[in-house]
Amino acid sequence: MIARMATTRAPLPRFPHGFLWGVSTSAHQIEGSADERGPSVWDAFTALPGNVKDGTTAAVACDHVRRYREDVALIRDLGVGAYRFSVSWPRVLPEGTGEVSERGLDFYDRLVDELCAAGVRPVPTLFHWDTPLAVEEGGGWLKRDTAHHFAEYAAVVAARIGDRVPKWITLNEPAEHTLLGHALGQHAPGRQLLFDALPAAHHQLLAHGLAVTALRAAGADDIGIANSHGPTWPASDAAEDREAADLYDVLLNRMFSDPLITGRYPEVITELLGAEVPDLDADLKLIGQPIDWYGLNFYQPTKVGAPRPDATVTEFSGLALPPGLPFSPRKIEGHPTTDFGWPVIPEALTELLLTFRERYGDRLPPLVITENGCSYEGVDDEERIDYLDGHLRALHRALEAGVDVRGYFVWSLLDNFEWAEGHRQRFGLVHVDYATQRRTPKASYDWLRTELRAQ
């Protein structure tokens, strides 16, 4: 630890007894040891010049496969009760199907054992965007077969570590994987299909449903999903802005929550999928089968207006949106921003949680905040402390209002490979020197540890 100047803040309010505190990571972003697994879509994507802003890859990343004991010790010393990590599909099944890599499964065996010995609950996510390259070359998430391949993979993982894993997550953020990876091409696999990417969303949700069935068959009884959500604010009260905001909200929020919670897509999604799904009702029964809790990843709200006919390219959160879309995201003014340029608006988290309760009522499962965090440079990261403090207070206000939230996971434990940003954005509670792999807990790590001890 390093000496730091103290900043006076009021202690966090008390959270309910049994509230689950955790930290999150994902396999491709931290594991490294790329030569010990099959290739993924991200390996192919980062190999092409220009796809990653700083030209780096995740071949080494945080070298977590070799340093997992050190990282588990950091989690234990932080004082959280759970660690949300993802399992690399190509590390377990190098071709996505067929022959299982015992070496890959052995790593997760060791990781889970280390977590259990440290008194930390393992919470694996089965898919965090690293589709095996062989599966992608066979059509990827645009093909229905991929959902069935995923269920087979889920069964393999559950058979190995299910005896020690009480809590499971099927997918992480299918909305972003669809939008950025299949509609806009700014993430792997780099497809630019716009609305023709919708089958990729449906097949991911189908994969979730099939994986739930596989996990139940293996004895799991605490299963959820991690979906990203945020309030959508119309740019004005004008009818055209409200209509555009409603469509955006359907595509980025309700398309992924409605079928899981209500068993139905919004009407516009059913129309857009059309003949792409031969038996939609049967699929929706699988997708909408009961889950034990629903995970929300929250970072920011979005302001949306009608499309601007004179705009050739719209810039939004670092993304270049093509012309011709039926909506136009707008910059939210008057709030501080992270190093990623995202507005910091904690009260939007309270709004989101209240909206979910109002929208879904008694059908809403218990909620868990499966990701919340921010990118800031530096080890003395007072901005990150302010961010986490504000969002935890916003979460507590939703609890006081009666929303059933059972846990909160910080993104992220470590600075890591931040997808198309490479190593430029730092979300970690722990600083990683990528040249030496030295870990240095930040001020935010110390602050959170102190607050958790007081809970």
Would you say 21 is a known binding-site residue? no
> Exposure of 31 by Cβ count < 10 A (0-12 exposed, 13-18 middle, 19+ buried)?
buried
In the chain, what are the domain boundaries?
Answer: 20-454
pLDDT number for residue 322 = 82
Predicted TM-score (pTM) of this structure: 0.97
Concerning whether 173 is annotated as a catalytic residue, the answer is yes
Would you say 227 is a known binding-site residue? no
Would you say 431 is a known binding-site residue? no
How high is the mean pLDDT in each 10-residue block of the chain (455 residues)? 60 98 98 98 98 97 98 98 98 98 98 98 98 98 98 98 98 97 97 96 98 98 98 98 97 98 97 89 97 98 88 62 87 96 97 98 98 98 98 98 98 98 98 98 98 98
What φ, ψ does residue 272 adopt, rounded to 5°?
-70, -35
pLDDT number for residue 311 = 61
Would you say 400 is a known binding-site residue? no
Catalytic entry in 31, 371, 383, 451: 371
The CATH number that domain 20-454 falls under is: 3.20.20.80
Would you say 299 is a known binding-site residue? yes
Catalytic entry in 31, 136, 173, 383: 173
